[in-house]
Structures are given as structure tokens and as C-alpha cells.
Amino acid sequence: MKETFDSSSYKISKLVTNTYSTSFSLGINLLGKKVRPQIYAIYGFVRYADEIVDTFHEYDQKVLIAEFVEDYHKALKRKISLNPILNSFQEVVNQYGLHDLVDSFIHSMMLDLEKEEYKTEEEYKKYIYGSADVVGLMCLKIFVDGDEVRYEAMKDEAMKLGSAFQKVNFLRDLKDDFERLGRSYFPNVTEYDFTENTKLEIITDIENDFKEALQGILKLPIEGRLGVYVAYKYYLGLLKKIKQKSSETILQERIRISNSKKVFILAKSYVRHRINML
């Protein structure tokens, strides 16, 4: 039966999420049960696309991403795919009308195979919109159950949160992006001129994004609020840790949050949520 196949597809999307990201898995587990399958489906799709452009260097990545995108469009039209990740994702896209958001995401993924550096603020912001902001907007559509009025009211803050997450990722992965992928996302920043002043300018920008994003988190429906808040606190903690490191250290190692710290963030966030102090 189709229902059984669809159910198994969502379970595989969940497996992909759990395999690739303990942090996002933790956050999704704190969401309302009603919205979890859809968020797993979104993560499974964006994770696979990101894997193609970031890690499959021994294969023809342009062919792989083109085939993945073609199969996605076939799945949208047919409302089914034998690729379980695409099968669960197409259902979410069709149900909530995420087509334009997904197109912007795909465009940014394609850029990762064509563009090595971003020299202007406009290019930088456009890439972040497609690679991160739209993912936050997809999730927001789910949280408000397709309510366009509520979606528009929280859209800007959701984009700020997506931008903050992505910029923290850029800082965390600076060494890998420079050395392994040959990429530079921050405008006119290379491994040779990443100074303390540059670091602090970037961090100040991210802190401002987080401040604006928090106001949107507080307005989220109960199904999404705690999970998103925990992800926010995790990334804020990661940013604080990066801020404490020198620019030289950031270029030499990937900064991480320990598992014990993640558990502490979870516990503290849960308590604040329970006593209505978010």
C-alpha cells in the first residue's frame, strides 16, 4: 500500500537526520510529534544535496546533482519517487507549496560547484538566502501549518535565524572550506587576511542576527518553539566558543560543542520552556 511506502520513506528521512547530525536530531525530537516527519523530510533532502556538492569529489558532482534535481522534479509531478528521501520530501513540498523556496536552495547548491569566493555583500546574502534562509522558511511553513498570515508575520525572523546558523557554520568550517573545498564565503576574506578584527566584525553581525531571530522564536507555535530554541541556544553557545578562540586557532581547527554541553543546553532550555521563561 502507498501509505506503508510513504511511512517507510519518512522513517528513512529520520534515519538520515540521526546519522548525519546529532544536534538537529536533538532539536527535532523536541518538536511536536505532528510536525516531526515533515521536518525530517526537509532535512533529508537538504542533507543529501549538500553531501553531493561537498563530499563526493571522486564522482562527477555536476552529473550527480543534476540527476538528483531531475528526480526531484519528476517526484513533484508524479507525487511519488522510489527514492525514499525524494518521496517524503515531494509530499511536503506539494502539501505546503514550498516550490519556490526549494528552487532557491537548489540554485545555491549549484553555486557550490561553480563559485569559489563571494566578493560582494549582495552575492554573499543571496547565497545564504538560498542555502539557509529558505530552509528556515520551509520549516516555518510547517510550524504554522500553512497559515500565510502567521508565516508572513514571522518570515523575517526565520530568515535571520537561518542566516545566523549558516554564518556560524562558515566560521566553524573555515579551515575545511579554505583547505579542502577551496571556498571563501565571507566577502573578500581569505585565509591570509582573516584577522582578529575580521573575526569580531563577522561575530558582531551574527550576534545581531541572533537577537532579531529570538523575537521570532518566541512567537512560534508550541509545536516548534522548544526544538528551535534549543537549536538557537546550541548555535549561540558555539558562537561564544568560537569568539573565545583566536583567529589563528579558528584557521587550524574545527571548533565543537561537547556532548555534555549539548545535554546541559537541552536540560536548561527544557526547564525554561516548562516554566514559561523562554
Q: What CATH number is given for 1-114 in this structure?
A: 1.10.600.10
Residue ranges, comma separated, of all CATH 1.10.600.10 domains in the chain are 1-114, 128-278
pLDDT at 22: 75
The predicted structure's pLDDT at residue 115: 76
Q: Which residues of the chain have pLDDT under 70?
A: 259-278
What is the model's pLDDT at position 263?
A: 63
Show the cell assigned to 26: 536533538
What size, in residues, is the chain?
Answer: 278
As beta bridge partners, residue 184 has: 117
Task: Look at residues 165, 93, 99 and name the one whose alpha carbon lies nearest to residue 129.
Answer: 165
Q: Which positions ≥6 away from 8 have C-beta within 8 Å? A: 84
pLDDT score recorded for residue 276: 59
- Which class is domain 128-278? mainly alpha
